[in-house]
Structure formats: structure tokens, C-alpha cells
Amino acid sequence: MLMPDWVLDKNFGPTHDDIVASWGYNTLDTFKSESYQGDKCYLLKDFQGRIGLVVIGYGSCSACDELEAAKAEDDWRSIEMLSIKYRHSIHWENSKEELMHWCGFRYGKDWWAHDEKIQKWLIGHGAQLF
């Protein structure tokens, strides 16, 4: 397996954006709910034309951010496992409309669906929150 460039960067390691980019999907839009801790949302398009959403929580230190903790271990395998975990959490639908419909029904069910800023971002993409 070829290691992405961020694996070789011992100074800083990857960001969430680097990890998502390494999957090879087209990033249609991103949204960051807060500054030093919160959630980062990625609207993705895969090779089959499906539209996906992944929401990744982040914090300001290794005690409250999975990626920072993995980088602190100085083991690229921990980061790779986290990348796999994030990738498996993508919810895919066949169209943006179907994805936004699904998002509407997540209201009150997922941690990220309670965030008013994320709700506004989703509404801007056509979601109706039920």
C-alpha cells in the first residue's frame, strides 16, 4: 500500500481534510460547526455518482479529538484505522435530494443533527428537518 504524503509528515500529521481527500471522492462542500471543537461535515460524491455525508467530531487536544490522539501515538496505523472508521461512517444515497431527505429524518436522532449551524447548512442544501 502506498502511504499518503501526510503519513510521512512527522511534524503535524494529517488533518481531517487530508484524510477525507485521501479516499479519492469528490468533496462537494464542507462545513465546520465551531472553531476549536465541534463537528466537520463533508458532502461527498463517489465514483458511481452517489452523494454521501460524513460528520467528524473534533476537539482542541488529544484528550478530546480522536485524530489528535492517534497522531500523539506516532503510529500511522492508528491514523489509518481512524480513517477507515470515518470512511465507514459515510451515509450514501443515490442523489443529493435523497440524502437531504435522509438528513431530515436524522433530526433529533444523531448528535450532529442537534447543532443549529449544521441544520442551517443542511437546509441550505435542500434538507427539510422533520
Instruction: Give residue-wise pLDDT tens across range 16-33.
Output: 999 999 999 999 999 988
pLDDT at 130: 55
Stated pTM of the model: 0.84
pLDDT greater than 80 at residue 13: no
| Amino acid 6: pLDDT | 52
Work out the percent of the chain whose per-residue pLDDT is above 90.
38
Across 39-78, b (16+ Cβ under 10 Å) vs e yields bbbbbbeeeeebbbbbbbbbeeeeeebbbeebbeeeebeb
Average pLDDT score over the chain: 83
Residue 19: the pLDDT is 94
Q: Where are the domains of the chain?
A: 5-94
